[in-house]
């Protein structure tokens, strides 16, 4: 039995669920935080979305069917919670950073939790100019180190479409990074 299967068995056992959930938090909290942070931009928003993600995971773990890995399932929940957050805030009149916005790059650069060097800052400026799909795919592949199969399961897009979006983004970065 793999470590993930052991953890899942403990999560489904009412007597062990709370301690297993703490183990789950220790294992996945940081990776999910950064996955969410790239979508919602600010630390405060990422913390809120992360908390909602783990609440949903805790409440839904009994319904996990195992069609994907636990890791991929949680990333899908985090991704969907991030999109819900953006949609909810858009309805409230807040700006969503879908299109290129120097404001989004500067908010990341000025954030107390992020200290980019010049190349990193340029990379983030280039990424801000991508379409939403390219941005999400590139971030999940490059920063989160997810496979195209995992990304496909998270955002429900074919692997070939993801590969095309990713390699187009890489080509744009290679052309613009040292300009």
Q: What is the CATH number of the domain that holds 13?
A: 1.10.1740.10
Q: Give the residue from 28, 63, 96 where a domain finishes.
A: 96
Helices (H), the chain: 3-12, 17-40, 43-60, 70-91, 102-110, 118-128, 132-138, 148-155, 159-176
Tell me the average pLDDT across 70-96.
84
| Structural domain span for residue 2 | 1-96
Q: What per-residue confidence (pLDDT) applies to 82?
A: 96
Cα torsion 56, 57, 61, 67: sign: positive
Range name among 29-38, 88-97, 117-126, 153-162 with the lowest pLDDT average: 88-97
- pLDDT band (50, 70, 90) for residue 116: low
Tell me the average pLDDT across 136-142.
92
Q: How many percent of the chain have pLDDT more than 70?
A: 85
Residue 91 burial class via C-beta count within 10 angstroms: exposed 0-12, middle 13-18, buried 19 and up: exposed
Question: What are the tokens at 158?
Answer: 């074919």
Q: What per-residue confidence (pLDDT) applies to 23?
A: 96
Between residues 174 and 119, the one the model is more confident about = 174
Model confidence at 91: pLDDT above 80: no
Residues 63 and 87 in one domain: yes
Model confidence at 103: pLDDT above 80: no
Q: Give the residue from 46, 72, 96 where a domain finishes.
A: 96
Give the integer Cα–Cα distance in Å for 177 and 179. Answer: 6
Model confidence at 101: pLDDT above 60: no
Overall number of domains in the chain? 2
Tell me the average pLDDT across 134-163.
93
Residues 176 and 107 in one domain: yes
Report yes or no on whether pTM surpasses 0.85.
no
Give the integer Cα–Cα distance in Å for 72 and 65. Answer: 12
What does pLDDT average to over the chain? 86
């Amino acid at each position: 039995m793999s470590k993930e299967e052991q953890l899942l068995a403990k999560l489904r056992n009412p007597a062990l669920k709370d301690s297993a959930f703490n183990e789950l938090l220790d294992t996945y909290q940081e990776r999910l935080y950064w996955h969410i942070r790239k979508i919602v931009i600010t630390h405060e928003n990422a913390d809120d979305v992360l908390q909602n993600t783990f609440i949903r995971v805790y409440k839904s773990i009994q319904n996990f069917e195992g069609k994907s890995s636990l890791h991929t399932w949680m990333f899908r929940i985090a991704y969907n919670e991030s999109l819900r957050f953006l949609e909810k805030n858009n309805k409230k009149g807040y700006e969503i950073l879908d299109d290129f916005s120097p404001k989004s790059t500067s908010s990341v650069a000025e954030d107390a939790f992020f200290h980019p060097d010049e190349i990193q800052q340029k990379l983030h400026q280039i990424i801000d100019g991508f379409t939403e799909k390219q941005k999400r795919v590139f971030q999940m592949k490059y920063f989160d180190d997810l496979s195209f199969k995992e990304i496909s399961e998270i955002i429900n897009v074919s692997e070939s479409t993801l590969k095309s979006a990713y390699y187009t983004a890489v080509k744009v970065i290679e052309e613009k990074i040292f300009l």
